[in-house]
Amino acid sequence: MVTRKAWMAELKPATPKDRQPVTRQSQGILKGAGTPARKQSALAGSGLTSERMRAAMVERLRAAGIRSAGVLAAMGNVPRHLFVDEGLASRAYEDSALPIGHAQTISQPFIVARMAELLCNGQAPQRVLEVGTGCGYQAAVLAQLAGEVYSIERIRALHDRARANLRPLRVPNLRLVYGDGMQGIDSVAPFDGITVAAAAHTVPRELLQQLAIGGRLIIPVGREKQSLRLIVRTAAEHWSDQELEPVMFVPLCPGMI
């Protein structure tokens, strides 16, 4: 359950005249229609932040083993440079995590793509939960791939920042929630997929319970040594659990700040 303080913010179009329906592949992300001039030019991209940089990043992801055409297309669509500070924008398409303030980082592109591929498993999940919105980048990628995405963040300032980052992109099937993601979001469960962007000491029971039957949970687990785990709810009271590769994430913390 999200605590009472938690609230949900639907991303709204920038201006009322933009309220036409936008398809899932989010023309807003590609074209940036109806956004302020500064963001508009940033969306179009230039020099180091151009579409070519993104295309090169996609090629590197492909070479590194990402196979899903849908995931590669989503990574090619989302302008990662809009989710980092202007001073870091020239590094946005490197395959590295970058600071986003509050001792948190935007995940490296490879791990975002890898987790999305594991989550989708060749299909388009209908309802997905992301725990750890951070700056909102991974949420925007997931929203390209799933029917609807809920993304929850425990740090209010980052939740607000993600909302500001995402507003010009107009992602109609993404809901941002301020709350403790260790509790999941009981009111909108079950989820076909849950992805956690911070490392848990142990897998939170609530997240297991909020998976649909057949639903997939991708979660880094561990303290100094972490590994990515793929957990599938195979029956009402049965979950399969697979340990994948070693990873390095910021810690999953309880409560809201």
CA distance 233 to 214: 5
Rule CB under 6 A: is residue 250 a binding residue for ligand SAH? yes
Cβ at position 239, least distance to ligand SAH in Å = 20
Cβ at position 21, least distance to ligand SAH in Å = 26
Query: Judged by CB under 6 A, which of 92, 135, 207, 228 binds ligand SAH?
Result: 135
- Known catalytic residues? 107
Taking CB under 6 A as the criterion, which residues in 176-215 touch ligand SAH? Answer: 180-182, 197-198
Query: Judged by CB under 6 A, which of 79, 81, 137, 247 binds ligand SAH?
Result: 137
Rule CB under 6 A: is residue 220 a binding residue for ligand SAH? no
CA distance 171 to 27: 9
Rule CB under 6 A: is residue 132 a binding residue for ligand SAH? yes
- Give the binding range for ligand SAH (CB under 6 A) out of 31-39, 44-52, 87-95, 99-107: 99-107
Query: Judged by CB under 6 A, which of 77, 138, 144, 173 binds ligand SAH?
Result: 138
- Give the binding range for ligand SAH (CB under 6 A) out of 4-12, 69-77, 220-228, 245-253: 245-253
Residues interacting with ligand SAH, by CB under 6 A?
Answer: 104-107, 131-132, 134-135, 137-138, 152-155, 158, 180-182, 197-198, 250, 252-254
